[in-house]
Amino acid sequence: MKTILVVDDEPNIVELITYNLEKEGYQVSKAMDGNAAWEMLEGNRYDMVLLDIMMPGIDGLSLCRKIREKSNVPIMMISAKIEEFDKVLALELGADDYMTKPFSVRELVARVKAVLRRSQETDDVGETATLRFKELALLPSEHKFLKNDREIALTLTEYQIIELLIRNPGKVMSRDILTEYIWGTDFFGATRTIDVHIRHLREKIEDNPSNPGYIMTIRGVGYKLQEKK
């Protein structure tokens, strides 16, 4: 049974999410503030975290950052903040998805399922062959990514982006292709979300993110993996 931690300081929201996720067969744990959530995360393993931004104690963005320092557990941010800056910041801090309040319960459940499905598919990969591109290496059986034989921690979304690119070196992957590969056809967000994850990925793997040597931008289309000449 998949376990999900729901973190929000609004009891009605927590109960609404909990009720609907439990109906789908998930085991749900609840925390009403960031400090309580952090304690629970240190002592337990969860398959996914649903995290509000505006909370007492540790706010959601700070907690997202702390989680990413120790774990790649899928994170979905849920917030009343609808500005693009807040969404981009959450994604740059390592969130895998972002929903705004008020939200459709059906959409929330669908997106939770999509994120967990992606995570499960990644865990279930039976391939043993290492995928290589120049100094980069992907180990599907261990869900690891290395550069110059040094492991680099990636979020679920970042891992799937580099996986598709490294399987198709030199080929242009459009934003639509990347979006469908990662989130499936039931994705509700904008394809520009890909750009945020690409930027974060470049910060991790490029020697100079502002002048990338691996992930090249094809303006107006998408991205490809290519050694810069």
pTM for the full predicted model: 0.66
Distance of alpha carbon 162 from alpha carbon 90, whole angstroms: 20
- Look at residue 38 and tell me whether its pLDDT is greater than 60: yes
- Residue 21 pLDDT level (bands cut at 50, 70, 90): very high
As a whole number of Å, the CA-based R_g of the chain is 18
Q: Is the pLDDT of residue 214 over 60?
A: yes
Q: Does domain 3-123 have CATH number 3.40.50.2300?
A: yes
Under 8 Å between Cβ of 63 and 51:
yes
- CATH 3.40.50.2300 location in the chain: 3-123
Residue ranges, comma separated, of all CATH 1.10.10.10 domains in the chain are 131-225
User: What class has domain 131-225?
Assistant: mainly alpha
Read off the tokens for 162: 């580099």
- Predicted pLDDT of residue 127: 54
88, 16, 109, 99: which is closest to 51 by C-alpha? Answer: 99
* CA distance linking residue 2 with residue 20, whole number of Å: 14
Task: Tell me what the mean pLDDT of segment 154-159 comes to.
Answer: 86
The CA distance from 53 to 158, in Å, is 22
Query: Using one digit for the tens of pLDDT, what is the confidence trace for 142-155?
Result: 888 999 999 998 88
122 pLDDT more than 70: no
